[in-house]
């Protein structure tokens, strides 16, 4: 699982977020990165047992870069102070809904779904919800899903999306711009051996949501 030295590196980086410090501590970064990649590899292996879309996915293709793109940002801090990964076919560059994990001292979490879909994909999902409302609501009301994540998350419009009436019977769902779930993980939890089983079970419980979204996108 995640080693305490990985959290120490991230904590130290948070206090010393400068290129000079990072390059002086590059070996500590590489050790932390390998620790995270080992966890991602184990997650992929176990998730692929119930979701074959992850078969053949490489851990390094799932892990996002720690380097921030500061070209168009007022915030010039050069590095993220967390590791994060998108677990899906094609890794972080894959398409459609998938699984997600973020590792940061005191702020780790796991989840998944579909974040910031294109206008075209969002329209497909909304139309799919209208045509299969009961199926969608059954996914969100399933005991396993609610025990794992509670409820659907994501940014919502304040009013009806273009092309839909404010009094549409499904307006509550149609206002969603993202379709994501997530839950926090303590540092203690993610360092324990039991975390792997806990995470895999959580991802399994969100599989019906992932499948519903990707079917609407014809993935």
Give the whole-angstrom CA distance, residue 11 versus residue 104: 8
Tens-digit pLDDT profile for residues 5-24? 999 999 999 999 999 999 99
95: CB partners within 8 A, 6+ apart? 217, 219
Tens-digit pLDDT profile for residues 102-120? 999 999 999 999 999 999 9
Per DSSP, helices labelled H in the chain are 4-15, 19-24, 26-47, 59-62, 119-131, 133-141, 143-149, 171-174, 187-191, 195-216
Mean pLDDT, rounded, for 59-73: 93
Q: Using CA of residue 82, residue 62, residue 208, residue 199, what is the dihedral sign? A: negative
What pLDDT is attached to residue 23?
97
């Amino acid at each position: 699982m995640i080693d305490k030295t990985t959290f120490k590196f991230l904590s130290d980086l948070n206090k010393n977020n400068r290129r000079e410090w990072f390059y002086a501590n590059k070996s500590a970064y590489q050790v932390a990165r390998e620790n995270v990649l080992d966890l991602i590899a184990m997650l992929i292996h176990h998730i692929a047992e119930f979701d074959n879309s992850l078969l053949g996915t490489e851990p390094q293709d799932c892990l996002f870069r720690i380097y921030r793109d500061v070209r168009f940002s007022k915030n010039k801090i050069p590095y993220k102070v967390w590791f994060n990964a998108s677990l899906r076919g094609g890794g972080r560059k894959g398409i459609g809904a998938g699984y997600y994990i973020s590792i940061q001292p005191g702020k780790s979490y796991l989840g998944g779904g579909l974040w910031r879909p294109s206008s075209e994909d969002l329209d497909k999902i909304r139309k799919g919800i209208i045509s299969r409302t009961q199926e969608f609501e059954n996914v969100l009301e399933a005991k396993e899903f609610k025990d794992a994540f509670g409820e659907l998350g994501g940014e919502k419009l304040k009013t009806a999306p273009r092309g839909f009436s404010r009094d549409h019977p499904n307006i509550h769902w149609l206002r969603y711009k993202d379709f994501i779930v997530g839950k926090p993980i303590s540092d203690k939890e993610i360092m324990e051996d039991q975390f792997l089983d806990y995470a895999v079970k959580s991802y399994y419980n969100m599989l019906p949501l992932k499948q519903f979204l990707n079917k609407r996108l014809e993935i």
